[in-house]
Structure 1
Amino acid sequence: MIPDWLTTLAAAGSAALVNAASTDVWQTARERFLRLLGRGDPARTETAARRLDALRRSAEEPGNERALAEARSAWRQRLSDLLEEHPEAAAELRSAIAELPPPRAARVPSVAQENHASGHGTVNAVVNGDQTNIRTAPEAGGG
């Protein structure tokens, strides 16, 4: 069983790698991860190269959020397997992550909302999420 901290490290490595696939640091990231994943074995290195190149192609496609989410999951599992088999690779993975730019935050669209009520009117508004309104009858003589 892989310790929790290695699972967390694999998730961080996956996020950093997938993020780097669409940036100008890709070639550097690719080389680092080839060494990490290949572990000096030509067959493993070739398999890693094919997978990394497929990731790059996927990252370059417009509107690919679902594919990138799937890639993060797949790479998290690959890195978890690697760390389970080679726990000594943790330091190398940490170093590779540190060299890459931090993952970009999701772009949240800007929303402007203006609401007005007059007289005895009520405004209920929500931009994202849920809203529950429970109306009660006014107290007798109070309103």
Structure 2
Amino acid sequence: MSELEIVQWAAPAAQALVGAMMGDVWGSVRDRFTGILSRRTESASDVAEELEESRQRLLDAEGDEETQTEVMAEWRSRFRRVLTQNPALLEEVRELLSEFKEDKLAQQKYHVEQHVKTSGGMVFNLGSGTQNNSVPRS
């Protein structure tokens, strides 16, 4: 599996995770996310505790976009590491996203805003829903 393919799945997985944490579906997906993310050297109980800490942080922030962005970045990195170390988990991530995106996560309302700057490089922006992209002229 290429690094690009890993990035393409880690970002929406983190986005779905954060959306679930902030919504009513958390109880039904928490164990699935824990199972995927604990396939590294960490114990499932440690991962579950970290997930709950992140969820509480989001709930305490009451929709603060900066907090959402930080939590999403943390878990996107975790998904990247897990998928890099165990590429076979990609199919499980795909299944999880497919199941909950249509069913439950689509019902949740969350907002993600990304601000990216580059100087002579390439930027990959992956997401779902309405995306508005602009490129300022130099």
Aligned to 1:26: 26
Check whether the contact 1:37–1:44 (CA below 8 A) recurs between aligned residues.
no
Name the CA distance, whole Å, in 1 between partners of 2:110 and 2:57. Answer: 19
Aligned residue for 1:51?
Answer: 50
Distance in 2 of aligned mates of 1:39 and 1:82:
7
2:10 is equivalent to residue 17 of structure 1: no
| Counterparts of 1:65 and 1:58, CA distance in 2 | 12
Give SS of 1:39's match.
coil
**Larger radius of gyration, structure 1 or 2?**
1
Map 1:125-136 onto structure 2 (within 5 A). Answer: none
Over 3 Å counting, the alpha-carbon distance change for 1:104 and 1:2 in structure 2 is farther
In proportion to residue count, which structure has more helix?
Answer: 2
Structure 1 regions of 5+ residues with no counterpart?
Answer: 108-143
TM superposition score normalised by structure 2: 0.68
Structure 1 equivalent of residue 132 of structure 2: none
Aligned to 2:72: 72
> Counterpart in 1 of 2:5?
5
Q: Secondary structure at the match of 1:70?
A: helix
In structure 1, give the amino acid aligned to 2:47.
A
Q: Residue 120 of structure 1 corresponds to which residue in structure 2?
A: none
> Which amino acid is 2:52 matched to?
D
- Name the CA distance, whole Å, in 2 between partners of 1:90 and 1:32: 13
RMSD, aligned CA = 2.5
Q: Aligned partners of 1:40, 1:7: CA distance in 2, in Å?
A: 18
- Runs of 4+ in structure 1 off by over 6 angstroms are none
Distance 1:79 1:7 in 2: 9
Query: Displacement of 1:40 after TM fit?
Result: 8.9
Over the matched positions of the two proteins, sequence identity in percent amounts to: 27
Cα distance in 2 for residues equivalent to 1:19 and 1:12: 10
Conservation of the 8 A alpha-carbon contact between 1:15 and 1:72: yes
**Residue 44 of structure 2 aligns to which amino acid in structure 1?**
T
User: How far apart are the structure 2 equivalents of 1:104 and 1:21?
Assistant: 12
TM-score (norm 1): 0.66
Alpha-carbon distance change, 98 to 51 in structure 1, aligned in 2, over 3 angstroms: same
Cα offsets for 1:76-117 (capped at 9, x unmatched): 00000000000000011111112221374649xxxxxxxxxx
State the AA in 2 paired with 1:34.
T
Q: How many residues align?
A: 107
